[in-house]
Amino acid sequence: MIDFRKEVANCISKVVPSLGKEEIENLVEIPPNYDMGDYAFPCFRLAKEFKKAPNLIAEELAEKIDGGVYFNEIKNVGPYINFFVNTEKLVETVLNSVMEEKEKFGSTNIGKGRKVLVEFSSPNIAKPFHIGHIRSTVIGNSLYKIFRFQGFDSVALNHLGDYGTQFGMLIAAYKKWGDREVIEEDPINELLKLYVRFNKEAEKDESLREEARYWFKELEDGNNQEALELWQWMRDISLKEFNIVYDMLNIKFDSYAGESFYSDKMPKVIEEMEEKGMLKESRGAMIVDLEEYNMPPALITKSDGSTLYTTRDIAAAFYRKEHYDFYKNIYVVASEQNLHFKQWIKVVELMGYDWAKDCIHVPFGMVSLEEGKLSTREGKVVFLEDVLNKAVESTLAIIEERNPDLENKEEVAKQVGIGAVVFQELFNNRIKDYVFSWDRTLSFEGETGPYVQYTHARANSLLDKGEFSLANKVDYSLLIAEEEINIIRLLYQFPEIVIDAMEKLEPSFITRHITEIAKAFNKFYNSCPILTVEKELKNARLMLVFATKTVIRTGLDLLGIEAPNRM
């Protein structure tokens, strides 16, 4: 595909040889609207060299630049040189590229030979897989897909919370009040009841917390068979429940190695810290002092010798470097854990490992309910499975009302309902907090997943009715309407948007861009007849429909959303 930004740099470098092409490319901007051109070069940087005001430089250079075959017009607007792309060249390069590359349009092989680990979802065993987990789950899955799309060897890791004092609480609670048969019937709800009850009782009786600590220590030491068997049972039944949700979301993991997997790998790491003189004693606990880096101390072992998240994450990072030799080790974890990640990554750096910089925390904002904050301890949760099921049921009701004869309507309801939930999650910048609302999640109006999916289905229907074939001869010069060119511009930008989403670890760039493509397509659909025009124009417009459908489908796939052919 023609790189018009590079062509702008080529044009300018001929009249300003003092600037390198790469430097010019970095200075090139996209104007706020197409009336001002497709690209703009600011001349402020040249004021010192030319000893003139930037607007005079722009005027002088605009007259000298030859746009060749790539630009129809070059003119200055104030201190900017504005470039108007040759639309026929733009149409030809975009449609040819999509036709040749199809669902690979926008992908590259920049990641070839490099491994990227993405740790995401990572719910706590024996606790609800609730709406708060959806952010890590869908952001992480999208990043995994985006890196893979760019040629990286992506590895999806589910770092299960299957260790820690909570298991001491659960074992103690089970031994006091548990019933195995009842729990087997409804594992997560029943284990949640035990957990909530234990915390309430512990507020009245502090000795219960000691009991919980005892059972966790027994579990960590690995000598108590009863503790180990109860823990394994709780882990197995929880994972079975979690996989119901992962199947609904069509998410698969390469590894479910949770915190417990690293329990035997921690002593080696602690020993190395000791050898390097990094550990200090503080009230019986062992810490790494991070005061000079404006951080509180990193707690490595408690006073009773048991370990913490920090120790386990450091051990996990070492294991992953040795086992995978990663290029990047990405953690999709809520912004509440910002300090935790800064601390342990700094500890790895202080241990002398430069790959610490390749361990990257991707934070995101928190989810709260309209009635307040989620709290597992208090039992205030909304189960993710319930959210997804309700979305599917609501979608099916809409289909029954609007298109009762639709084939495979249950399957389409699942694709659209779950897609609506995922799309909403990935539409806003990930760092923003938000309040979960049923009404907003299940709305099918405006900038929503169902709107984009319906656009894809509409395009598919047009291709079928028009008997479209890639073998049809296409005259690109016929695509001159403003509505057609606006879609082409957005399709042209798609590869750059995907790279940007990868580099900034921000799937919402793709969500918003395919929404803009869908809007542009629907304007085109309403303004430009497609199936009723003469053959040559029909073929050209159907090729544009095919390109739009293909890019929307690719974009949805990168978000982890399916694209139904019929709706």
Residue 417: the pLDDT is 94
The tens place of each residue's pLDDT in the chain, 567 residues long, gives 999 999 999 999 999 999 999 999 999 999 999 999 999 999 999 999 999 999 999 999 999 999 999 999 999 999 999 999 999 999 999 999 999 999 999 999 999 999 999 999 999 888 878 888 999 999 999 999 999 999 999 999 999 998 878 889 999 999 999 999 999 999 988 998 999 899 999 999 989 999 998 998 888 788 899 999 999 999 999 999 999 999 999 999 999 999 889 988 999 999 999 999 999 999 999 999 999 999 999 999 988 777 788 999 999 999 999 999 999 999 999 999 999 999 999 999 999 999 999 999 999 998 776 765 555 555 567 788 988 999 999 999 999 999 999 999 999 999 999 999 999 999 989 998 878 776 777 676 788 999 999 999 999 999 999 999 999 999 999 999 999 999 999 999 999 999 999 999 999 999 999 999 999 999 999 999 999 999 999 999 999 999 999 999 999 999 999 999 998
Residue 372: the pLDDT is 57
Residue 366: the pLDDT is 84
Active site residue 130: yes
Active site residue 159: no
Active site residue 513: no
Show the tokens assigned to 323: 């086992």
Per domain, the residue ranges of the chain are 4-85
Q: How far apart, in whole angstroms, are the C-alpha atoms of residue 146 and residue 560?
A: 10
Cα 103 to Cα 146, 151, 462, 474, 500: the distances in Å are 13, 14, 19, 20, 19
Task: Decide yes or no: CATH 3.10.20.30 for domain 4-85.
Answer: no
Active-site residue identified among 14, 112, 130, 240:
130
Residue 302: the pLDDT is 85
Tens-digit pLDDT profile for residues 131-171: 889 999 999 999 999 999 999 999 999 999 988 788 899 99
Q: What is the pTM of this model?
A: 0.92
Report the side by side order of strands in the sheet with 367-369.
Answer: 372-373, 367-369, 434-436
Residue 371: the pLDDT is 62
Active-site residue identified among 64, 133, 361, 519:
133
Sequence-distant (6+) residues with CB within 8 A of 6 are: 21, 25
Q: How far apart, in whole angstroms, are the C-alpha atoms of residue 417 and residue 406?
A: 16
Please name which of 86, 81, 88, 91 lies closest in space to residue 36, comparing C-alpha atoms: 81
Active-site residue identified among 21, 112, 127, 193:
127
Q: How far apart, in whole angstroms, are the C-alpha atoms of residue 404 and residue 410?
A: 11
